[in-house]
Chains A and B, each alone.
Chain A
């Protein structure tokens, strides 16, 4: 199993551009989420999904959209990039919805918005 994969690894955008960060998992996990991590800070939840077709907002959802058309994929869309969105983005998945279920994280996407 590849686990959780994310593409691209690095991305530079100009203010106002849009893009999609890809996340895929091959563990047949129902639960997936997106976090951002600013330098020296902990992770903050952006959006999460409890299954195909179901998404919800986390702590910092503004400026981001998600959709979940399949169990495997959970893309994160930046609608109009801003310098404040410069961060490292992590995708995670888990087999259950509770804190007792281990979350598996991808390697991250480092995004810079100029």
Chain B
């Protein structure tokens, strides 16, 4: 399983775009990149997933450069309710059931 490195914490203000970068230098060919969001006292929730280039859904965008050694989760126009911990996970698309969560990035959105 590829090890990931994320910033421990980030601060932002309402209405701003937030970009959280995850480093995964030893990502393997079959690895997918997945981001989860966790609010206090709740279980993590799937946000977005990708393999290469760019993926966008109603919540976020995920940018993956050609070498796939990093990825960036982009949250457009954050609100107070986006205050949460964000986890970047990397694992084999076929057999990596044992997903490893790191410490994540604590995002604080201020008014």
The residues of A with any CB-CB pair to B shorter than 8 Å are 4, 31, 33, 35, 41-45, 48, 50, 58-59, 90, 92, 94, 97-100, 102-108
Contacts and interface: CB of A to CB of B under 8 A. Distances in A.
A99 B43 contact: no
A31 to B, nearest CB: 6
Interface of B: 31-32, 34, 36, 41-46, 49, 87, 89-104
B101 A98 contact: no
A98 B91 contact: yes
Nearest to B34: A99
A34 B33 CA distance: 21
B101 A107 contact: no
A99 B87 contact: no
Given A45-B100, A99-B89, 15 more contacts: A31-B97, A33-B97, A41-B103, A43-B44, A43-B101, A45-B99, A50-B97, A58-B98, A59-B100, A90-B44, A98-B32, A99-B96, A100-B94, A105-B44, A105-B45
A48 B100 CA distance: 12
Interface of B is mostly: loop
6 contacts: A4-B43, A44-B101, A45-B100, A90-B43, A105-B43, A106-B43
A98 B43 contact: no
B44 A99 contact: no
A29 B64 CA distance: 29
B32 A103 contact: no
A107 to B, nearest CB: 6
B42 A99 contact: no
Contacts of A107: 42-43
B40 to A, nearest CB: 10
